[in-house]
Structure 1
Amino acid sequence: MLRSMYSGISGLKNFQTKLDVIGNNIANVNTYGFKKGRVTFKDAISQTTAGASTSTDTRGGTNAVQVGLGSSISSIDTVDTAGSLQNTSRTLDLGIQGDGYFIVKEGTNNYYTRAGNFYLDEEGVLVTGEGYKVQDINGSDIQLNIAALQSFSIAQNGDINMVTTGGANQVAATIALAKFSNPGGLEKAGNNLFQESVNSGAPQIGASGTDGRGTLSSGRLEMSNVDLSEEFTDMIVAQRGFQANTRIITTSDEILQELVNLKR
């Protein structure tokens, strides 16, 4: 069989994966804190039909003769650039201006997120929309005393400043942020959550405004970093690449048909 046919098949698979990633990006264009994906390709192994030779006194050197055998997926990256902040005027909507991640917990499992649309449950615990509990700088759940709460605000450093019914001011808790040496190595866990991986590095936990974790902005949410114009352009490129590889397979099939028809 022709090598070109299998090269075309590898191209079809790769561009299908690229279209899958683009489709997921577009589907999450309005998902708070979403980080888009990116596919990169690499060439597959090449078959060497003749090796390189060195020069001699009578003849110059020659290069190797190699035939490529298609392409493969090099990586599917998470592009962790910051999205723009959207004003919501809601105190519990928090945006991060920097590289940090909120820490949320379910049971004993820690997760990390850039989506700061938080809520207070019936017991005054600060949670995500799915009920994951937001953590403070001490690694504890954040719980406000609703019975004594008159109003509250959240400062840029993560302090939750509470005014009690008696008029007293106090800091109820400080929201923690985590920073990673390789945030692109975090694994997506669904529900706007990421989890630590062996290549992301351990979380460096602390208050916002310290060690490059960024500052909090109350009343704002981080939008998805998906650029629709870029995604549609990539979609056109992937579509044309897919079509070109189908043409390779069609042409290879026509050649094989001619070989079959040699004996009539």
Structure 2
Amino acid sequence: MLRSMYAGISGLKNFQTKLDVIGNNISNVNTYGFKKGRTVFKDLYSQTVSGASGPTPGGTGANPANIGRGGVNPKQVGLGSQLATIDTLMSPGSTQFTGNTLDLAIEGDGFFAVKAGDTIQYTRAGNFYLDEKGALVDGDGRFVMVSDFSATPPTNPTTVTNLRKIEIPLTATSLSIGQNGVVSYVNNGNLVEAGVVQIAKFNNPAGLEKVGGNLYVDSTNSGDPVYRAPQSGGNGSIKSGSLEMSNVDLSEEFTEMIVAQRGFQANTRIITTSDEILQELVNLKR
């Protein structure tokens, strides 16, 4: 069988994956805090027809006319392409003003930490709410993690003891969340600072795993989260009354879609051309 046919098949598979990633990006163009994916290809292994050879020295002494031979490059036939990575691009999205105090956007690096049961997850989508008990939660009821002012949260999420949820009493008024993450409200005429919204940072945020619902979990290649208050330790600040939009650029995605479509078509042409050659070989017997 022709090697070109299998090379074309590998290209079809890769461009199908690329189209899948592009389709997911476009479907999340209006998803708060969404980070787009990028598909990267690499060549498959090559079959070596003949190896490289180095130059040979020329003659000396009695045979000075022998100038030797130069080096020869290897001869290799590539056998197609394969998927290298599907990257998550963590570039910031634009900020949309909402005017809702509980809508929070991170300007800079880091993630909000939310917890349900014993599981901590991370998100850039800050559309938070107050439940019936006044707890600050996300749309699925996960508690937004805060800390006390004097606390220094540990870096290992499995031993977090001073990260906690926050509850705002029903009698509170003038709720506000500052750029430094401080949650404050007025209760019975007194200003109460209830806690500091924590931001989690990772050595390799692109190594986080998407689990759906605008959420990430740490992986073996993301590193452990380091929790700090906003505007400290390189963390971004918090902008109340705003939400971070998706970082998907539609014009870029449509351009990549055209490239993927043409690449897919070119690989199908490789397969059909190879098939025609095989058909000619079969017809030789007639």
Q: Same fold (TM over 0.5)?
A: yes
**2:136 maps to which of 126, 136, 160:** 126
Residue 155 (structure 2) aligns with: none
2:18 corresponds to which letter in structure 1?
Answer: K
What is the rounded CA distance, in whole Å, between the counterparts of 2:130 and 2:212 in structure 1? Answer: 22
Counterpart residue number, 1:43: 43
Q: Helix, strand or coil for the counterpart of 2:261?
A: helix
Larger C-alpha radius of gyration, 1 or 2?
Answer: 2
Q: Distance in 2 between matches of 1:68 and 1:46?
A: 4
**Alignment-derived partner of residue 172 in structure 2:** 149
Q: Deviations over 1:241-264 (max 9, x none)?
A: 000000000000000000000011
| CA–CA distance in structure 2, aligned partners of residues 263 and 93 of structure 1 | 74
- Give a deviation string over 1:88-147, Cα, whole Å, max 9, x none: 00000000001010000111011000000000000111100011111013311111122x
Question: In the alignment, does 2:93 pair up with 1:93?
Answer: no
| Counterpart selection for 2:181 from 144, 158, 171 | 158
Aligned counterparts of 1:126 and 1:67: Cα–Cα separation in 2? 60
Give the Cα separation in 1 of the matches to 2:186 and 2:194. 10
Matched, 1:220 2:230: no
Structure 1 unaligned regions, length at least 5 = none
CA apart distance, 1:151: 2.4
Provide TM-score, normalisation by structure 2: 0.91
Report how many aligned residue pairs link the two structures.
262
Q: What whole-Å deviation, never above 9, does each CA across 1:5-39 have from its counterpart, x for those lacking one?
A: 00000000000000000000000000000000000
- Distance, in Å, in 1 between the alignment partners of 2:136 and 2:34 is 21
Aligned position for 2:255: 233
Unaligned runs of 5+ in 2: 59-67, 148-161
Q: 2:146 aligns with which of 133, 136, 147?
A: 136
How much does 1:75 deviate? 0.2
Q: Which runs of 4+ in 1 moved over 4 A?
A: none
Q: Which residue of 2 aligns with 1:257?
A: 279
Q: Measure the CA separation in 2 of the matches of 1:259 and 1:149.
A: 84
